[in-house]
Amino acid sequence: MRRDFLTLLYIPVFVFGIFLGSCGRSEEPMPNLELPPTPILESRARYAVIISSHLRLRSGPSIESKVKETLWKGSVMEVVGKASSRVVVDNQEGYWYQVAYDGLQGYVFGGYLRFFSSKEAAEEAVRSPEF
């Protein structure tokens, strides 16, 4: 019985020793990876409103991407991602954003958007006389 107890005692010590021994090893450096745009990491979703007369929802973050839908001024959409680099479209510099609107997902150019921290704030702005 004492032998079983010692065996049970040595197993965790052995495993812990292997773990400690591998912590200080230097391995090959991690390669520098270029990652695709990631969803916005916030505790609450961000929303945007179209401020131009219309905006095309595209299948990808490029003016060459297929148009899925034309959205109109005042449309409120959820922003789910942002491209990693700024681009120039129609003499405006900005980012492409991945958005969700009325069951559709796609990309819109951010130069024609106004951003809000909540859907309620975006909808209130659209109802305001200044919009």
Angle at 45 between CA 41 and CA 51, to 5 degrees: 115
pTM: predicted TM-score of the whole model, two decimal places = 0.65
pLDDT given at position 38: 54
Which pLDDT score is estimated for 130? Answer: 84
Look at residue 131 in the predicted model and tell me its pLDDT.
83
Domain boundaries, the chain: 46-127
Per-residue pLDDT at 1: 54
CA distance 58 to 114: 18
pLDDT at 42: 45
Per-residue DSSP letter, 12: H
3-class SS of residue 11: helix
Q: What is the pLDDT of residue 31?
A: 63
pLDDT 10s digit of each residue in the chain, 131 long?
555 554 555 555 555 555 555 555 555 665 665 556 555 444 445 999 999 999 999 999 999 999 999 999 999 999 999 999 999 999 999 999 999 999 999 999 999 999 999 999 999 999 998 88
**Which CATH number is associated with domain 46-127?**
2.30.30.40
